[in-house]
Amino acid sequence: MFRINKTIVLLLSNACFALACHAEIITTNIPPGGLLERRVDGVFIKGEFLDLGTNGTERLYIRYGPISDSGVLLLRTTNEVVLWRAFVEPLDIAHSKYCHVVSIHIEDDKIFVTSVGGIDVGIEDGWIYARGYPAKKIFEVRSLKTGALISRKVSDVPPQPSLIPTR
What are the extents of the domains in the chain? Answer: 2-165
Q: Name the percent of the chain lying above pLDDT 90.
A: 31
pLDDT at 84 over 70: yes
- Res. 28 pLDDT band, cuts 50 70 90: very low
Q: How many CB atoms lie within 10 A of CB 95?
A: 8
Most confident of 43-52, 87-96, 98-107, 158-167: 98-107
Q: Which of 24-38, 88-102, 132-146 has the highest mean pLDDT?
A: 132-146
Does residue 91 register a pLDDT over 80? yes
Confidence label for 12 from pLDDT (cuts 50, 70 and 90): very low
pLDDT bin (cut points 50, 70, 90) of residue 148 is very high
pLDDT category at 6 given cuts 50, 70, 90 is: very low
Query: What percent of the chain is helix, strand and coil (3-state, nearest 5)?
Result: 5, 50, 45
Residue pLDDT, tens place only, 95-111: 666 788 898 999 999 99
Q: Where are the alpha helices (DSSP H) in the chain?
A: none
Closest residue by Cα to residue 167 from 121, 95, 106? 106
Cα–Cα distance, 137 to 155 (Å, whole number) = 5
Inform me whether the pLDDT recorded for 49 exceeds 60: yes
Distances (CA, A) of 134 to 114, 160, 161, 163: 16, 9, 12, 13
pLDDT 10s digits, 122-134: 777 777 777 777 7
Q: Residue 41 has what pLDDT? A: 66
Assess whether pLDDT exceeds 90 at residue 80.
no
| CA proximity to 1, closest of 145, 105, 110 | 105
d(CA 145, CA 136): 28
